[in-house]
Amino acid sequence: MAISRAQLLKELLPGLNALFGLEYGKYEDEHAEIYETETSERSFEEEVKLSGFGAAPVKAEGASISYDNAQESFTARYNHETVAMGFSITEEAMEDNLYDSLSARYTKALARGMAYTKQTKAASLLNTGFTTFNSGDGVTLFSTAHPTVEGTTNANRPATDADLNETSLEQAVIDIAAFTDERGLLIAARPRKLIIPPALMFVATRLLETTLRVGTADNDINALNSNGSIPEGYAVNHYLTDNDAFFITTDVPNGMKHFVRTAMQTGMDGDFDTGNVRYKARERYSFGVSDPLGIYGSRGA
C-alpha cells in the first residue's frame, strides 16, 4: 500500500508552519553493552562448550599415572533472522509535496523502526531469561542449577531473588567468584558491568560511585567502590521490561553474543507503471548465549 496524497493532506496545503513527530531521538546500540558482536557467513552458527580435565590426583610412588577424559558438554545455536521493512510513496504525493523531502523524512522513520526492533530483540533474552529462554545446557538463561559434566551445578542468579541494593550486589559478586568449569574447577570469573533499567539508575549511582556506604550513619567505606567490584560501572538499557531486575556481565569468554549475517542494507526503486517510489531496509542477525556464565541476573524481589 503506497502512501498517497490522502495520507499527506496537510503537507499539500500552503500555510503549514512545521512538521513534527519523526524527529524523536532514539537510544543507540544499547545491545553493545551486553553482547560481543561477531560476523557470520552461514545460515546459522553453533558453538560447543568443551569439558577439560579435573583436578590432578596425587600419584603414589611406583604407581601408574592417572589418565583423564575430555568431552563436549553442550552446543549453543544461533539462528539468524531477517528483519526488513519498507514503504512506498505515490508519484503524485511526491510531486505535490510543498515542504520537506518526503523520502528523506520517512527513510529516517524507517531507520528508527529497524533500530527499535534490534534493541527489543537484544533485550528479550534478558527479559525472558528467567522464564522461557533457555541456554544451550537446557535450563533457563538465569538458573540456580546450570548442569556440568562433573554433576555439579553453577548458579548465575541468587537463590532468592532480591532488589538491587548493597547486600544483593555484594552477594552477586561472591556468587560469580564461585563459578566453576565443567569439571568443577574454579574459573576465576569476575564481574564487568551492571546492566539496569532506567528505574534503577539512581540506585546504581549511589551504590557504585559513592565512597562511603549508602543508607547508614556509620563511617564505613563503600566496599563495592573501594574494591572496584564492578570495574566498568553500569549501563542503562531502556528496553528492559522489569523495573527491578538487574544484570551483571562477567569476563567469562564466549558469553552473550550477537552475530551479524548481513549488515543493514537499504534500497529504492521506481515502478514504471504506477510511478510509485519504493524504499526498503533489511538486515540479518541473531542474539544468543554460548556460555550462560557470561552473565548474572536477579529479577528483583
Listed as own residue / partner, the contacts of 59-67 with beta carbons closer than 8 Å and 24 or more positions apart are none
Residue bearing cell 574447577: 185
Residue 18: predicted pLDDT? 40
How many other β-carbons are positioned within 10 Å of the β-carbon of residue 192? 20
How many other β-carbons are positioned within 10 Å of the β-carbon of residue 131? 10
Mean pLDDT of the chain: 88
Question: Is 278 contained in some domain?
Answer: yes
User: Average pLDDT of 115-126?
Assistant: 96
Residue 245 has pLDDT above 60, yes or no: yes
Question: Is 197 contained in some domain?
Answer: yes
Question: Is 22 contained in some domain?
Answer: no
User: Average pLDDT of 204-223?
Assistant: 88
Residue 98 has pLDDT above 50, yes or no: no
User: Average pLDDT of 52-59?
Assistant: 93
Domain at 177, CATH number: 3.90.1690
Q: Structural domain of residue 96, as residue ranges?
A: 29-53+77-298
Residue 9 has pLDDT above 80, yes or no: no
Q: What is the pLDDT of residues 148-195, one digit of tens each?
A: 999 999 999 999 999 999 999 999 999 999 999 999 999 999 999 999
Q: How far is CA 69 from CA 50, 54, 57, 72, 150, in A?
A: 11, 9, 14, 10, 12
Residue 267: predicted pLDDT? 87
Question: Which neighbouring-strand residues pair with 65?
Answer: none
Residue 246 has pLDDT above 50, yes or no: yes
Residue 27: predicted pLDDT? 72
Question: Is 66 contained in some domain?
Answer: no
The share of the chain scoring above pLDDT 70, in percent, equals 89
Residue 105 has pLDDT above 80, yes or no: no
- The residue with greater pLDDT, 104 or 83, is 83
Question: Is 279 contained in some domain?
Answer: yes
CA dihedral 143, 144, 148, 151 (to 10 degrees): -140
Question: Is 164 contained in some domain?
Answer: yes
d(CA 210, CA 203): 11
Question: Is 124 contained in some domain?
Answer: yes
Task: Look at the chain and report how many structural domains it folds into.
Answer: 1
Question: Which neighbouring-strand residues pair with 250?
Answer: 191
Cα-trace Rg, the chain: 26
Q: Which residues of 249-272 are buried (b: 16+ CB within 10 A; e: fewer)?
A: bbbbeebbbbbebeeeeeeeeeee
User: Average pLDDT of 18-25?
Assistant: 48
Residue 20 has pLDDT above 80, yes or no: no
Residue 59: predicted pLDDT? 93
Q: Where are the alpha helices (DSSP H) in the chain?
A: 91-96, 102-127, 166-177, 201-209, 223-226
d(CA 48, CA 61): 38
**Could you tell me the pLDDT band of residue 273, with boundaries at 50, 70 and 90?**
confident
- The residue with greater pLDDT, 1 or 215, is 215
User: Average pLDDT of 88-109?
Assistant: 72
Residue 2: predicted pLDDT? 57
Q: What DSSP line would sit under 60-94, residue for residue?
A: PTTPPPP----EEEEEEEEE-EEEEEEEEE-HHHH
Give me the count of residues in the chain.
Answer: 301
Residue 103: predicted pLDDT? 66
How many other β-carbons are positioned within 10 Å of the β-carbon of residue 63? 8
Residue 229 has pLDDT above 90, yes or no: yes
Question: Is 21 contained in some domain?
Answer: no
Question: Exposed, middle or buried, 15 (CB in 10 Å: 0-12/13-18/19+)?
Answer: exposed
Residue 209 has pLDDT above 90, yes or no: yes
**Could you tell me the pLDDT band of residue 93, with boundaries at 50, 70 and 90?**
confident
Q: Where are the alpha helices (DSSP H) in 128-191?
A: 166-177
